Chains A and B, each alone.
Chain A
Amino acid sequence: MTQDGALSGVSPESSLNLHIGCSALGARRSSLTDVTPATARSAGRPVAQPVVATDGLTKDYGSVLALDALTVSVGHGITGLVGANGAGKSTLIKILLGLVPPTRGGARVLGHDIATEGAAIRATVGYLPEHDCLPPDVSASDYVVHLAMMSGLPRVAARERTAEVLRHVGLAEERYRPMGGYSTGMKQKAKLAQALVHDPRLVFLDEPTNGLDPAARDEMLGLVQRIGRDFGISVVVTSHLLGELERVSDHVIILDGGRLLRASRTDDFLDATGHLLLEVLGDGGQQRMIAALVAAGVEAVPKGSMINVGSGAGVHDLIRDTAADLGLGLVRIQIDHRRIEDVFADA
């Protein structure tokens, strides 16, 4: 997946594009200050090279083929990695961290080769594992300081960064209590804090919303969005809940049985129908509107209390005129968003 298409229409920082290399940390930062949320939303970070690029990546565990010749590239911004359990998401992350050697193929993360530069990758990448990873008898504050030092930060800097990151993820006074007494939501926040404490350039978030209640889930997704858009850190986030990823991610990669099913911008998944949803107000409005639209040669079918109208040139004008002719109130016209689930249905 490339992001080049995403750059069109974004001007303020495109002059900085050339500076954004894997080692140009300062350039990434200076672009951050220029980006308003609106432009960051659509463009993410400008691309000089992909954050992650795999080439024929294969992992054969003998009994299971976890990854099957996967060639994919991840740009800046927030990328959702979707797949059922066992689709190879976690294996891919471990290979990209340089922990597990691939059977065949290779990959580069932030410009570093996974085979030879694992330590360099792990120094600038954050990782939130899927399973529990917090000792119960240590406070979040102490533990995140320790892990910041394990990423190479000096003690004083580790303390400062920890206080800051814990504030960003929203752990308040409870940060001084042993983590054994934390709720799942608080544990996930602590896990997120340790993934961010060394200011990585890329974070892998493996199922960050797993086990959270709806409110905590929304909060976590909001945090993921802030990390990608406001903090200027590229995010690869996995989930088996597609609805979550279409909310937060700029791009979606779909894995199925270790193979790439599809990779593209989230918008492309969602806007591919080109259909409109229409709501009208009036006596028997839905039926009369449908009849009139069909008579005018436009595809129109009921969808709940709304009307799904097929695409075509001048369809907006036609809808307006038809509604006016029939004396119906036009409550709304909106784009009929598809769900990422539909991609699986198509496949």
Chain B
Amino acid sequence: MPDLPEPHPDSQAHPSSMTPAGRSVIHDLGYRPYTGPRLGEGAIARALVATGFKNAFGLGRSTKSKVLPFILLGMNLFPAVILVGALTLFGADELPIGYAQYASTTQVLLSIFVAAQAPVLFSRDLRHGSITLYLARPLRASTYALSRWFSLLLACLVFVFLPLLLMYVGALLGELDFSRQTREASMAALLGLMLALCITGIGGLLASWSTRRGFAIVGTIAVLLIGNGIVTAIQGIAQEELDDQRLGQVAGLFSPYSLYRGLAYAWGDANEPLTPPTNGGLEAAYAAVFVGLSVACLAGLVWRYRKLAGR
């Protein structure tokens, strides 16, 4: 559609405005109605997810907003590049850091990424009032919340899976045992998915309760990193001072990262953490809390936006 000069205010709808989607227009046709297709809620939600996913990495926004996510992504990949480099250079017979161990090692980066980018998807619309424009459109409030959540989940999965993929490819190129690498990498991917689900839920829920980006960032970092610090301290005291494994194992239920560490050791190839879950019952409890927390956060998000729509 070429850029036409502003029509005279008195210009009226011309009969030729009925021609469909005019091409090579050289004169002003006035207002032309839209007669094309109108897509349903599913297609709208997919478009929202795609836009949100790009926005989470600063794409489609200002240059400034691309800096942080890509620096974090680069930093998150950097150790994996080193690992693969070392593996191919020195020909080790296993990866220096296990697949499942990797996310634990880089948990600070993942936390900062979620804390900084969840507000892009959730707080921004609340802060600038643009949520009203979404709610006045066919999308239901719950679908909006689910789409936003899914965008953030995809962004987190890229963050978690990229280094795993790099390590896996590197390991195969380094001619490590294919079946073992595949088994361990897939388990790490499953654990990474669980971690991403949980972190996305927590980061999204906190960001949806804060109209200010700063509050959301501080809140998310506090819950994720400081929460993990407290749990780790309790686990350390329980193991070293009190010799009470059970206390440490129960404490591990209270932070996504301690849940991840416990399961990554029990199911995957991670190093032994403090007070890991030692029996099937505990492992099941860890997994249940991990998934349950994710589901609860998602439900909270949906509930939050349904409330918002009704105001």
A residues near B (Cβ < 8 Å) are 25, 29-30, 32-33, 35-37, 97, 99-101, 119-120, 122-123, 125, 127, 129, 131-138, 142, 146-147, 149-155, 157, 159-161, 163-164, 167-168, 170, 178, 194, 198-199, 222, 226, 230-232
Contacts and interface: CB of A to CB of B under 8 A. Distances in A.
B36 A157 contact: yes
A134 B38 contact: no
A160 B1 contact: yes
B11 A152 contact: no
A149 B34 CA distance: 13
Given A119-B138, A142-B60, A170-B6, A101 B310 contact: yes
A161 B129 contact: no
Interface centre among A35, A125, A163, A167 (most CB of B within 10 A): A167
Nearest to A232: B13
Contacts of B137: 122-123, 147, 150-151
Main secondary structure of the interface of B (DSSP, over half): loop
A127 B136 contact: yes
B21 interface: yes
A152 B40 contact: yes
Interface of B: 1, 3-4, 6-7, 9-15, 17-18, 21, 30-41, 43-44, 47-48, 51, 60-62, 65, 124-125, 128-130, 132-140, 309-311
Contacts of B60: 138, 142
B117 to A, nearest CB: 14
Given A133-B128, A134-B130, A164-B1, A33 B14 contact: yes
Contact of B129 (A99, A132, A149, A178): A132
B39 A154 contact: yes
Contact of A230 (B12, B124, B128, B311): B12
B39 A153 contact: yes
Q: Which 7 A-B pairs have the closest CB atoms?
A: A199-B34, A127-B136, A152-B38, A133-B129, A231-B31, A152-B39, A163-B1
Interface centre among B6, B43, B48, B138 (most CB of A within 10 A): B138
A123 B38 contact: yes
A150 B129 CA distance: 16
B61 to A, nearest CB: 5
